[in-house]
């Protein structure tokens, strides 16, 4: 039995994670979920959105299924954490958001985000099948920002050879296992000559050891234009953290929206699975959010832990429900609620 730490999250998080967990269990996966309190409720009750119990649970399970968590815009908001490290020493750190805190503390250095068309879901493009690798640990997301004076703010962008090589190697190995053979490195090295220049050069050098994979590169602005005109010409994309965050949402829009885009944050001994979308406060609690991105994130989790039969069964049941169209949420072209879509998938699994 695989032990999984569950973070339900904020906004639509509890609705979509509940859906994903029910479906995972209905598919007969050998997993047991331990839910930990994190996010807004934990902040109110414990004074931090990530109490030490979250890290204690993850230290045991090594695998996390996470719903989206809220981060206020602007201001001085920080996520303060206190926890014991592997040697039992108390560490205190702070981060700009919960997702960043977890990714950094758990060493989850890459975010893998597959984005593709699904039969039955209307979208602007057909034949999109992108695999996005987002560097997850540095860039402008290190959260080193400050006001120099009342009218001037500064942020520091960090790119290292080590992190760039690690994510490039991961992407190339991952592509090799899936039989994918075209990688586009995305950057802005014409302006950010040192930081993005180092990312591009390191990725290109790393790729020399993978002669079967065709490597090319694009400046981020040109990539965005090409993606919204001919997305089917791209296979896999490797991006620094900030561009990866933005391009993931753009790519989700190419195939039908954020309700369809799953993600996996992977490190050397731990992994966390979460949808690309956020807490969607505009639709939270209304039973209209698409659970699909969260379900597909759970499918990635099942493949990661080796529960491939359950993963295949869920994908097949979801595909059937999408093709039939009558039990899907409105962003997927239907009129059903989150609950009804979940029940329909469970019914297919039990049929
Ligand atoms: P969002 O992704 O929550 O919402 C953007 C738009 O997409 C909204 O119109 C929303 O209704 C729609 N949408 C999102 N998920 C959907 C789903 N499953 N089904 C149907 N429609 C869906 O982005 P936002 O509004 O910029 O952010 C809201 C909050 O989420 C912020 O506090 C932000 O910090 C947080 N956030 C968290 C994560 C994370 O935990 N990994 C990621 C992104 C944003």
Residue 182 CA to ligand 1 centre (angstroms): 30
Q: Is 258 in the pocket of ligand 1 (CB under 6 A)?
A: yes
pLDDT digits (tens, 9 = 90+) for 177-193: 999 999 999 999 999 99
> Confidence class of residue 222 from pLDDT cuts 50, 70 and 90?
very high
Q: Is 259 in the pocket of ligand 1 (CB under 6 A)?
A: yes
Query: Is the model's pLDDT at 345 over the cut of 90?
Result: yes
pLDDT digits (tens, 9 = 90+) for 96-136: 999 999 999 999 999 999 999 998 898 989 999 999 999 99
Residue 277 CA to ligand 1 centre (angstroms): 4
Q: Which two three-digit tokens encode residue 237?
A: 């994309």
User: Which among 279, 292, 295, 297 is the best mutation to test ligand 1's pocket, defined by most ligand atoms within 8 Å of the CB?
Assistant: 279
Q: Is 8 in the pocket of ligand 1 (CB under 6 A)?
A: no
> Confidence class of residue 84 from pLDDT cuts 50, 70 and 90?
confident
What does the pLDDT read at residue 198?
98
Q: What is the DSSP string of 18-78?
A: HHHHHHHHHTT--EEEEE---SHHHHHHHSSSS-HHHHHHHHHH-EEEE------SSTT--
Give yes or no for a contact between 293 and 261, defined as CB atoms under 8 angstroms apart.
yes
Q: Is 113 in the pocket of ligand 1 (CB under 6 A)?
A: no
Distance separating alpha carbons of residues 166 and 176, to the nearest angstrom: 15
Q: Is 192 in the pocket of ligand 1 (CB under 6 A)?
A: no
Query: Is the model's pLDDT at 291 over the cut of 90?
Result: yes
Residue 326 has a CB neighbour count (10 Å cut-off) of 10
pTM of the model: 0.95
Residue 35 has a CB neighbour count (10 Å cut-off) of 15
Give yes or no for a contact between 49 and 39, defined as CB atoms under 8 angstroms apart.
yes
Closest residue (by CA) to atom 32 of ligand 1? 70
> Confidence class of residue 5 from pLDDT cuts 50, 70 and 90?
very high
Residue with tokens 């930990």: 36
Q: Is 277 in the pocket of ligand 1 (CB under 6 A)?
A: yes
């Amino acid at each position: 039995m695989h032990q999984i730490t569950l973070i339900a999250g904020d906004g639509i998080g509890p609705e979509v994670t509940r859906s994903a967990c029910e479906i995972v269990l209905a598919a007969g996966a050998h997993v047991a979920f331990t839910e930990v309190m994190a996010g807004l409720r934990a902040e109110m009750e414990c004074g931090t959105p990530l109490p030490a119990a979250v890290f204690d649970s993850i230290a045991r399970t090594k695998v996390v299924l996470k719903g989206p968590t809220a981060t206020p815009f602007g201001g001085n908001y920080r996520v303060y954490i206190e926890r014991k490290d592997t040697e039992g020493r108390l560490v205190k750190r702070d981060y700009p958001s919960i997702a960043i805190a977890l990714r950094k503390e758990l060493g989850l250095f890459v975010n893998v985000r597959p984005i593709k068309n699904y039969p039955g879901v209307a979208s602007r493009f057909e034949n999109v099948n992108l695999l996005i690798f987002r560097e997850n640990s540095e860039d402008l997301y290190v959260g080193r920002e400050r006001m120099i004076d009342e009218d001037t703010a500064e942020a520091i962008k960090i790119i290292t050879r080590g992190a760039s090589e690690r994510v490039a190697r991961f992407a190339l190995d991952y592509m090799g296992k899936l039989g994918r053979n075209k990688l586009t490195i995305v950057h802005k090295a014409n302006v950010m000559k040192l930081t993005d220049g180092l990312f591009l050069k390191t990725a290109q050098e790393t790729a020399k050891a993978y002669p079967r994979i065709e490597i090319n590169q694009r400046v981020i602005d040109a990539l965005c234009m090409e993606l919204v005109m001919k997305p089917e010409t791209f296979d896999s994309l490797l991006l620094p953290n900030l561009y990866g965050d933005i391009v993931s949402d753009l790519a989700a829009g190419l195939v039908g929206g954020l309700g369809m885009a799953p993600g996996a944050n992977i490190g050397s001994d731990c992994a966390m699975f979460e949808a690309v979308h956020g807490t969607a406060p505009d639709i939270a609690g209304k039973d209209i959010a698409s659970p699909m991105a969260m379900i597909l994130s759970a499918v990635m989790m099942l493949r990661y832990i080796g529960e491939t039969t359950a993963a295949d069964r869920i994908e097949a049941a979801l595909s059937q429900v999408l093709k039939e169209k009558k039990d899907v949420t409105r962003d997927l072209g239907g009129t059903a609620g989150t609950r009804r879509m979940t029940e329909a998938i469970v019914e297919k699994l039990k049929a």
